[in-house]
A and B are shown apart, each in its own frame.
Chain A
């Protein structure tokens, strides 16, 4: 027993003794799974950095920010990967982030340049449907409200896409947003805590459409060889979700952290994104075959301050409309 305990303790001590610098990346759950971008990204960066990349997972984007706020400057994380534009104002206000010093990402449909947060992928929110069951999808929120289609959405109080939809309606319709929600109320079959429950309900045939991304049909086409899923083009334009990385000010590996952020813009990192994270790459690289069939003409995005200011009133409108 004593011998095995000693062996156990020496195992624990090994990484420290080897003196390879460790870069700790805090990210969301699905990033680090074997089918996510994590393993390939880790391997590619370790090949050039002579360091050890360690991922720590913490739920989704909002959970990451909550976790950083819990840990404060004592966090072991050097880099955070997975915040989005609806969270940046709150994230910047924590004072936990340091400037990343990288040039802006080049392949976004709207210019985005922030000293603290660097995009590594992005996508458009859209309602996804099954072409074989719905030959004529609605062409706008008004169209959708007038139809008797049933949709599943995510709760903006617990999910990032849910919050994205709130911002989408706000960005597209401003003061008329409450009216849009009132019109949609009878189309909303139900509201789920997160993206995966909503998408699961849609795949089970419970709803005609689900709030997801324009890139969701690409998963079915490329990974499953199933071309029946599509997304509905809305005339208002489509709201963007931009996923962001940042360097923590309290990092003990600031240079390594910055070089990791530079690495996120390289083809090695970016080429992994489309078919593991199923989002658009943030740098100009060729898209995989079948990834994109068409794209929206208009992209919508509220600025960081605007999004934060809009959130509480928009949430109140949403709750009032749906609680009827």
Chain B
């Protein structure tokens, strides 16, 4: 088991390092220029702010979702996850319908005779990053809340804990375990931001490392520079993962009996605060989604024929990525639970990888062996699996650790090993995070443009690539329709897998 986990960890590191090394080797070295420091500063600043704001806002939302029961709660949880699954440019267009120059907010402001707000600038970058990442942060923290055994809350209740005491003894230790990972994940995601930062950042002030990499590869063909920048990006992401790993404290609640215990959530102003947190978050996350639906609906009627095979390819790629990622993430999480803590870092590294350098490096590695177009889909599966690995691992790792602490000795004493241990203990106990992770990986893979653009010929286009081709040919309406189809399919895959996980767990 442990040697398997080591092998998976080594492969993950290799898949990040080998393409980067291939690019650097081809270029004969690494280089950086003085202008890169400005790009690094802006990148770090916006990523840090985006992570802090996303996670700070996610805490009250996750708490409200964890302790309140109301009709439609489950649907709300699923729908609020949708922005994270949007292709970036679709998300930007949805936000602009709300916050843009001609958007609803500015229309309301001007009706009230107030000055207009501009979304273009650092504030726009932050709004978009929070919109895209608040759902993920909320779900990660919500998983943490749900992982506290209900018996502990029951005990707190019977001891007449005040909400403040419950926070100190139950919620704060859980947050200390979960928040560093959530912060590091959102931070690393925003590190590689490119289109959002540029479009909403308002110009060259908002130059990120990924844009500098793009320029180095595409316009300067300066591969040494691209490799240098990509290395900086991976190192910063790795450092964030390391900091999160050092900061995280295991809460150690012990095992519960998995009983559904009706708890009385605090009433009074806290009920109002929870309702406000949920209402604002739902408005902020769902209003731009509604704009995406309204914009896409007319185009749905009249989709070009290429869309359907592309959708089928995207779904197949997503399912293959799910199998690959979950296998790897489970292996890594179980290994990390057995004390191989370097796997934490190995599993986080792909998060900060530059997509363009990864694609370019793989292209260099593949090209001497076979025509890249013949390997377009396998390479896409592999890259999507690699890029989704950090999320799946982050969801599984804490629960694998708790599983080991709570049931490890019992299972060992029963000599429960190998496939039997997997079937009887691990899969049932981890069904909830596995289902959630599977849904997330599938949706991420569906929406990812990633490396397919570098490898695809006529016959391998995935849906995001077809959408890009539509927008490049003035077909904005068809593109909006195809985007809506993509979002719907991603959300459906996510919903099916997440639901299966929750049902298997219950």
Residues of A participating in the B interface, judged by any CB pair closer than 8 Å: 28-30, 32-36, 38, 54-60, 62-63, 65-67, 69-71, 74, 76, 90, 150, 155, 157-158, 163, 188-197, 199-201, 203-207, 216, 219, 223, 278, 318-319, 322-323
Point out the residues of chain B lying under 8 angstroms from A65, CB to CB: 221
Q: A65–B219 Cα gap in the complex (Å)?
A: 9
Point out the residues of chain A lying under 8 angstroms from B101, CB to CB: 150, 189, 205-207
Identify which of B146-154, B230-238, B473-481 touches chain A: B473-481
With A74-B367, A163-B219 in contact, do A203 and B476 touch (Cβ < 8 Å)? yes
**Cβ contacts A to B, 27 pairs, < 8 Å:** A28-B472, A29-B468, A29-B469, A30-B469, A35-B304, A56-B457, A57-B456, A57-B458, A58-B453, A66-B218, A70-B363, A74-B367, A158-B214, A190-B202, A190-B203, A191-B202, A192-B198, A193-B199, A199-B474, A203-B476, A205-B101, A206-B100, A207-B101, A219-B474, A278-B473, A322-B203, A323-B205
Point out the residues of chain A lying under 8 angstroms from B364, CB to CB: 70
CB < 8 Å neighbour of B198 from A30, A34, A155? A155
Given contacts A150-B101, A191-B204, A200-B93, list 20 more A-B pairs with CB under 8 A: A29-B472, A32-B458, A33-B466, A36-B473, A56-B373, A56-B458, A57-B457, A58-B454, A66-B217, A66-B218, A67-B454, A158-B219, A193-B195, A197-B92, A197-B471, A200-B89, A204-B100, A278-B473, A322-B203, A323-B203
Point out the residues of chain B lying under 8 angstroms from A193, CB to CB: 194-195, 198-199, 211, 214
Q: A62–B453 Cα gap in the complex (Å)?
A: 13
Any chain A CB within 8 A of the CB of B465? yes
Point out the residues of chain A lying under 8 angstroms from B457, CB to CB: 54-57
B: interface residue count bin: 35 or more
Point out the residues of chain B lying under 8 angstroms from A69, CB to CB: 221
What is the minimal beta-carbon distance from B1 to any residue of chain A, in angstroms? 30
Q: Are A188 and B471 in contact (CB under 8 A)?
A: no
Q: Are A196 and B219 in contact (CB under 8 A)?
A: no
CB < 8 Å neighbour of A59 from B201, B367, B454, B470? B454
What is the minimal beta-carbon distance from B95 to any residue of chain A, in angstroms? 11
- Specify the chain B residue showing the minimal Cβ separation from A61: B218
Point out the residues of chain B lying under 8 angstroms from A56, CB to CB: 373, 457-458
CB < 8 Å neighbour of B96 from A58, A76, A201? A201
- Which of B97, B198, B217, B363 has the most C-beta atoms of chain A within 10 angstroms of its own C-beta? B198
Q: Are A63 and B458 in contact (CB under 8 A)?
A: no
- Specify the chain B residue showing the minimal Cβ separation from A311: B219
What 5 pairs across the A-B complex have the smallest Cβ distances? A196-B471, A30-B472, A157-B215, A205-B102, A33-B469
Q: A30–B475 Cα gap in the complex (Å)?
A: 11
Chain B, 14-49, contact with A by CB distance < 8 Å: what is the 0/1 string?
000000000000100000000000000000000000
What is the minimal beta-carbon distance from A181 to any residue of chain B, in angstroms? 11
What is the minimal beta-carbon distance from A145 to any residue of chain B, in angstroms? 16
Point out the residues of chain A lying under 8 angstroms from B89, CB to CB: 197, 200
What is the minimal beta-carbon distance from B450 to any residue of chain A, in angstroms? 13
CB < 8 Å neighbour of B221 from A34, A66, A189, A219? A66
Any chain A CB within 8 A of the CB of B120? yes
Q: A63–B211 Cα gap in the complex (Å)?
A: 14
Any chain A CB within 8 A of the CB of B371? yes
Point out the residues of chain A lying under 8 angstroms from B470, CB to CB: 33, 35
Any chain A CB within 8 A of the CB of B360? yes
| 278-309 of chain B: CB within 8 A of chain A | 304-306
- Specify the chain B residue showing the minimal Cβ separation from A33: B469
What is the minimal beta-carbon distance from A178 to any residue of chain B, in angstroms? 14
Q: Are A196 and B458 in contact (CB under 8 A)?
A: no
Any chain A CB within 8 A of the CB of B115? no
What is the minimal beta-carbon distance from B305 to any residue of chain A, in angstroms? 7
CB < 8 Å neighbour of A323 from B195, B204, B367, B466? B204
What is the minimal beta-carbon distance from A318 to any residue of chain B, in angstroms? 7
Q: A46–B458 Cα gap in the complex (Å)?
A: 16
Point out the residues of chain B lying under 8 angstroms from A205, CB to CB: 100-102
Q: Are B97 and A29 in contact (CB under 8 A)?
A: no
Point out the residues of chain B lying under 8 angstroms from A163, CB to CB: 219
Chain B, 355-383, contact with A by CB distance < 8 Å: what is the 0/1 string?
00000100110011001010000000000
Q: Are B471 and A29 in contact (CB under 8 A)?
A: no
What is the minimal beta-carbon distance from B163 to any residue of chain A, in angstroms? 45
CB < 8 Å neighbour of A54 from B211, B305, B363, B458? B458
What is the minimal beta-carbon distance from B91 to any residue of chain A, in angstroms? 12
Point out the residues of chain A lying under 8 angstroms from B58, CB to CB: none
